[in-house]
Amino acid sequence: MSTTEAINALGLRPLSGRIAAEILAPLGAILADDALQADLRAALPERGVLVLRGASPSPEQQIALASIFGEPEPPKEQNPRHPDHDLVCVFDSDGGYKADKWHADETFVENPVSGAVLSMQIMPPVGGDTMWTNTEAAYDALSNGMKALLDNRRARHEINESVATVHPVIRTHPVTGRKSIYVNDIFTRGIVDLPPDESDAILPFLKRHVQRPDFTFRHTWAEGDVVIWDNRCTQHYAINDFEGRRVVHRVGFFAEPFEN
């Protein structure tokens, strides 16, 4: 199916210049149609973020949606789970959960999730938006000199001293072949194959560069909204500007892994 045909079938509508699209096809139709599922898989790495407004999936439907893209992420002890569905992680602001720095999920492990499906359950009256940024567009905007400097460099990612790994600073998407910047505010500690002074200068620049508004999309949630993102070529930021309770359900998935 051509890109135009896929857009027509899914009702794909871009939401910003460089990232994100809304899917107008109903969730039920997608879950019942193999061709729509194939188009959805193709659309995700192209747009990075896909939005289904008001889909209000059941936990079973959310797991089925994640399974379109790959194997659902197994439960992790540190993440609170849905009482009836171990594959659904429940992030509740009443439990102190915050993700209000730019990051890709779980980059402190060797094989982070490829993406995730997020479903909004309870929204505060005002605020609580989430932003995503296109790390491929950020790479493309670097100078040729900076690209050459970063080629084959590696950076340390950690959540604590006992859970850490090293990843390339520049990664190539396994589906599209496009390059992206793979460092983030929460987990990246330093570029390991540069002198510390040079790492301390370049790493903060890269983190700021990825956050430029012209690479981003900001989603204002409504209860029932679903957002799917490709964790390999985006970062996200949950804006902590609200009072009241905010609850989201998340199902991660493993698709095509990085080769580098």
* Beta carbons within 8 Å of 41's beta carbon, 6+ residues apart: 68, 69, 255
Looking at residue 79, its amino acid is: N
Whether 209 sits among the annotated catalytic residues: the reply is: no
Structure tokens at 232: 């390999």
Catalytic residue among 103, 157, 219, 246: 103
Tokens 């992680």 -> residue: 89
Label residue 89 exposed, middle or buried (CB < 10 Å: 0-12, 13-18, 19+): buried
Looking at residue 231, its amino acid is: N
Catalytic residue among 18, 209, 249, 250: 250
- Secondary structure (3-state) at 17: coil
Whether 85 sits among the annotated catalytic residues: the reply is: no
Catalytic residue among 39, 105, 225, 230: 105
Whether 82 sits among the annotated catalytic residues: the reply is: no
DSSP 130-195: EEEEEHHHHHHTS-HHHHHHHTT-EEEEEEETTEEEEEESEEE-TTT--EEE---TTTEEEETTS-
Q: What are phi and psi of 119, to 5 degrees?
A: -125, 125
Whether 105 sits among the annotated catalytic residues: the reply is: yes
Catalytic residue among 171, 236, 246, 249: 236
- Secondary structure (3-state) at 28: helix
* Beta carbons within 8 Å of 201's beta carbon, 6+ residues apart: none
Measure the CA–CA gap between 21 and 26, rounded to whole angstroms.
14
Q: What are phi and psi of 160, to 5 degrees?
A: -160, 175
Where in the sequence numbering do the catalytic residues fall? 103, 105, 236, 250
